């Protein structure tokens, strides 16, 4: 009986080594050579210290910063280990209540702003981790950020334009603004 089981055990061990060790190490090595920044998490550094990833949003609620898309992850916002959307449908009263709370928070932070609030400032993304907002969402926040920092709206608007990324490959997706990069640039304007 062992003569029949032995080939299965050997094949299992061989495939486990190939798929569990050799292949992952090979792919990791290729990724480190071809695109090391992305392979290491697309980290953003300030003064030699990592401050975040260009791929994962962070919570900002201070009026002097641009705010990102709300996060639906739990038990805390932008939890990369719990990536998910809220899964609320468009007719959900829970979604409606959350959107109303977010609208109230935006209006409380900038009561003089009468512009329409862009939808991405009040709804979470499918992953709950989106680090980007639309240019419209960034421009909506310009008056509040400029006032809180003592800058002119033109200075802040110019910074938003500078940090607006175009469509990927010129055709995929929509223009977007990375909130962390924009806020770090604002901190550098002191």
Report the distance separating Cα 160 and Cα 155, nearest Å: 9
Q: Are residues 36 and 52 in the same domain?
A: no
157 confidence band (pLDDT: 50, 70, 90) = very high
Q: Are residues 71 and 12 in the same domain?
A: no
* pLDDT mean across residues, the chain: 90
Q: Are residues 57 and 92 in the same domain?
A: yes
Q: Are residues 172 and 115 in the same domain?
A: yes
Pairing between β-strand 49-53 and β-strand 132-133 as defined by DSSP bridges: unpaired
Query: For 40-72, what is each residue's pLDDT tens digit?
Result: 888 888 888 988 888 888 889 899 999 999 888
Name the β-bridge partners of 165.
Answer: 176
Report the distance separating Cα 18 and Cα 29, nearest Å: 15
Q: Are residues 36 and 51 in the same domain?
A: no
Q: Are residues 29 and 63 in the same domain?
A: no
- Is the pTM above the cut of 0.85? no
Q: Are residues 59 and 32 in the same domain?
A: no
Domain of 2, in residue numbers: 1-40
What's the total number of domains in the chain? Answer: 2
Residue showing tokens 């007719």: 91
Q: Specify whether the CB–CB gap between 178 and 131 falls below 8 A.
A: yes
Q: Are residues 150 and 121 in the same domain?
A: yes
Q: Are residues 94 and 26 in the same domain?
A: no
* Of 180, 67, 77, 83, residue with least CA distance to 126: 83
Q: Of residues 78 and 155, which shows the higher confidence score?
A: 155
């Amino acid at each position: 009986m062992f003569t029949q089981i032995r080939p299965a055990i050997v094949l299992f061990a061989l495939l486990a080594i190939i798929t569990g060790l050799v292949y992952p190490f090979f792919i990791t090595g290729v990724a480190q050579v071809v695109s090391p920044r992305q392979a290491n998490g697309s980290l953003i550094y300030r003064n030699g210290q990592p401050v975040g990833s260009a791929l994962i949003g962070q919570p900002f609620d201070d009026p002097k910063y641009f705010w990102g898309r709300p996060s639906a992850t739990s038990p805390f916002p932008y939890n990369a280990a719990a990536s998910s959307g809220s899964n609320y449908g468009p007719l959900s009263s829970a979604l409606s209540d959350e959107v109303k709370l977010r609208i109230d928070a935006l209006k409380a932070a900038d009561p003089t702003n009468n512009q329409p609030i862009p939808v991405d400032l009040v709804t979470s993304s499918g992953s709950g981790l989106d680090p980007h907002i639309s240019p419209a969402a960034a421009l909506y926040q310009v008056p509040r950020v400029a006032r809180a920092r003592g800058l002119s709206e033109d200075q802040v608007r110019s910074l938003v334009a500078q940090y607006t990324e175009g469509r990927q490959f010129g055709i995929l997706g929509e223009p977007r603004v990375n909130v962390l990069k924009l806020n770090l640039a604002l901190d550098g304007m002191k």
